[in-house]
Amino acid sequence: MKFLVITNAPTLKDENGYKAYAPYVREMDIWSNHVDYFKIISPTKYNQPLLTIPFKNQPSVVSIRGLNFSSVQSALISLVKLPIVIFKLFKGMFWADHIHLRCPGNIGLLGCIVQIFFPKTIKTAKYAGNWDPEAKQPLSYRFQKWILSNTFLTKNMQVLVYGDWKNQSKNIKPFFTATYRETEIEKVERRDYNTLLKFVFVGSLVVGKRPLLAIKIIENLKQKGYNVCLYLFGDGILKSELIQYVLEHKIEDIITIQGNQTKDVVKSAFKTAHFSILPSQSEGWPKAIAEAMFFGCIPVVTKISCVPFMLDYGKRGILIEAELELATESLIEAIENKEDLSIKSNAALQWSQHYTLDLFESELIKLLKP
């Protein structure tokens, strides 16, 4: 089988071969284990910090320009390059036996349009963003969702989305993602919620993840007399700003910015942390939250996308508002109920350990079958 991936995610090359964003690579390694030929069409340059690892199954890569319409200059350059990108997409789809789109994104949007001309080719799309029909989203995102769910334009495709939403077309398939194997399931020691409460933030240090709000929530809890600390894992454009905030407010004793760390380091943090906090503006399936739950680390997350479903509407975690005092109040209410915290921790663990890489791989194999 000739398997083609079309994605916004940059594929970078060094002396050891191609590499990309680590969670994406781990997923694509599973897909590519079950195909004969593996090709990626994507940008091949990126100017921001990115935690990358090499592909185990090295792909052939068709380089295209990343499309950017955020300014007049970038929009003009993108429009000039657009015909070349479209030509490469058509050429790649003619080659492929299975087309796999990664959405949302500008390249994903073009892929959604071009795939219309290949109704007989087997296709899948991974929509990694928020599929909530009621969510306020950019026009390009809504347009991608419309094309993907339109079974007149989009044929022979299964669209993998996070969450189980009502009134969806027959090609929309509720799906999940995973990080750990069944062999990684281990007994987790019952946490003591009467001691120092350790929070972790795992994610990019960017506006959409709201890391500063996470810091302020922990700072607020400390000011109200709670024994808490926060470790932030990740990198991004806000890193220097966050460091500056911590220094100016003299909270280095409770806030530690760790930067990008390996999977094993983050895994160890999940095993000992009491809570994993992620007050995002938008998410698809927040992988870091599912990973934390795998080890009984209680998620603290904003009420977005399929997150309420993941947390069973508060039974497996703590749902907060994206406002400092309201979020703090929700956490204080939870922290004061120690017995309920143990119940939430166990419920989170039981749920997340169902969604292993073994189950994920078995479901992907079904998608690849003609």
| Domains along the chain with CATH numbers | 2-178+357-368 (3.40.50), 183-352 (3.40.50.2000)
Angle between helices 72-95 and 106-114 (to 10 degrees): 40
CA gap 359, 127 in Å, rounded: 19
pLDDT of res. 59: 97
Sequence-distant contacts of 79-83: CB under 8 A, at least 24 apart:
none
pLDDT attached to residue 323: 96
Nearest partner of 38 among 362, 370, 368, judged by Cα = 368
Q: Provide the pLDDT for residue 358.
A: 94
pTM score of the predicted model: 0.84
Q: How high is the mean pLDDT in each 10-residue block of the chain (370 residues)? A: 96 93 93 97 85 94 85 78 95 98 94 97 95 87 95 97 90 90 90 96 94 98 97 95 97 96 93 96 86 96 89 95 96 95 96 94 90
